[in-house]
């Protein structure tokens, strides 16, 4: 179980990831998500895609702006109480947006299934797998995890809906990108960063407002893996393969 405010830094083995967003405070609350940088290594096909060490900036080297600042995939999702997916090649900006989107919804305006579908559309196929079938299987696994481990369970959502719960989130503290985290060894993330994979950890403040304006807040950290370049754009949007998409929510957070 994650601790509120600051999360415990833990190590774990690659691909043994869990995400825990649990209930608290009498009505259902997203609890702290704790993650790990050791698991930042994306499942790669044979792990043999060596490239020169990159610049460790937040925008993938060589990436070109693909849309005007503030552009989003679908601004209309705000009508459902959701945070829209940005169109950007900046890993930090995209990672923050993903963390915020996971804690921004209105149970009065949409169902859990609809919210789950919206978050799922942020995900991309992972080109770290050679075969398209493996990419599809990996994506399905991430979406299943989104359903089982990230979005609050249906029973909890229903309890929130009974209380007309609205949840909004914002950045509250540090945002860490790649080597900003404490645990990576020098050079250990270079290949991943060159290939467009980035780890972004965002400290979030979520505000819960229910019936009769009853409210409370929760602070927690969320880590996500973002891919910028070589992504699968959302159909019908202005995204291009150069723009960032989401690979996964990490199970634990490393500061």
The pLDDT, as a whole number, for residue 218 is 93
- pLDDT category at 28 given cuts 50, 70, 90 is very low
Q: Dihedrals φ, ψ of 202, to 5°?
A: -120, 130
Q: What would the two tokens of residue 132 be?
A: 């398209």
Assess whether pLDDT exceeds 50 at residue 64. Answer: no
**Poorest-pLDDT segment among 22-31, 78-87, 149-158:** 22-31
The pLDDT, as a whole number, for residue 67 is 56
d(CA 89, CA 64): 7
d(CA 244, CA 239): 9
* pLDDT, average across residues 161-190: 92
pLDDT digits (tens, 9 = 90+) for 110-164: 999 999 999 999 999 999 999 999 999 999 999 998 898 888 889 999 999 999 9
- Decide if 15 contacts 40 (C-beta within 8 A): no
- Decide if 92 contacts 248 (C-beta within 8 A): no
- Decide if 85 contacts 74 (C-beta within 8 A): yes
Instruction: Supply the pTM of this predicted model.
Output: 0.74
Residue with tokens 């050791």: 38
According to DSSP, residue 149 is labeled: I
Of 11, 5, 53, give the one whose Cα is nearest residue 188: 53
CB atoms within 10 A of CB 91: 28
* pLDDT, average across residues 235-244: 94
Each residue of 65-78: b (16+ CB within 10 Å) or e?
ebbeeebbbeeebe
Each residue of 114-143: b (16+ CB within 10 Å) or e?
ebbebbebbbbbbbbbeeeeebeebbeebb
Which conformational region is residue 236 in: left (phi greater than 0), alpha (psi within -120 to 50 degrees), or beta? left
* Number of Cα atoms under 13 Å in the Cβ half of residue 220: 31
The pLDDT > 70 percentage for the chain reads 71
* pLDDT, average across residues 221-249: 95
């Amino acid at each position: 179980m994650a601790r509120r405010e600051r999360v415990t830094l833990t190590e774990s083995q690659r691909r043994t990831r869990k995400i825990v967003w649990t209930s608290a405070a009498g009505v259902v609350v997203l609890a702290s998500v704790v993650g790990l940088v050791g698991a930042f290594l994306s499942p790669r096909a044979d792990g043999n895609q060596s490239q020169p060490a990159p610049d460790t900036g937040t925008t993938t080297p060589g990436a070109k702006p693909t849309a005007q600042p503030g552009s989003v995939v679908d601004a209309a999702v705000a009508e459902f109480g959701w945070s829209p997916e940005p169109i950007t090649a900046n890993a930090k900006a995209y990672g923050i947006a993903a963390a915020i989107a996971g804690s921004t919804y209105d149970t009065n305006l949409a169902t859990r299934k609809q919210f789950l579908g919206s978050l799922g559309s942020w995900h991309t196929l992972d080109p770290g797998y050679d075969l398209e079938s493996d990419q599809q299987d990996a994506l399905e696994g991430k979406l299943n995890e989104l359903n089982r481990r990230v979005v609050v369970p249906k029973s909890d959502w229903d309890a929130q809906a009974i209380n007309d719960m609205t949840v909004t989130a914002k950045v509250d503290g540090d945002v860490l990108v790649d080597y900003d985290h404490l645990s990576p060894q020098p050079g250990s993330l270079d290949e991943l960063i060159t290939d467009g994979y980035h780890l972004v950890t965002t400290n979030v403040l979520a505000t819960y407002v229910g019936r009769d304006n009853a409210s409370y807040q929760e602070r927690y950290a969320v880590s996500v893996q973002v891919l910028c370049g070589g992504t699968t754009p959302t159909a019908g949007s202005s995204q291009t393969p150069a723009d960032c998409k989401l690979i996964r929510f990490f199970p634990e957070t490393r500061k």
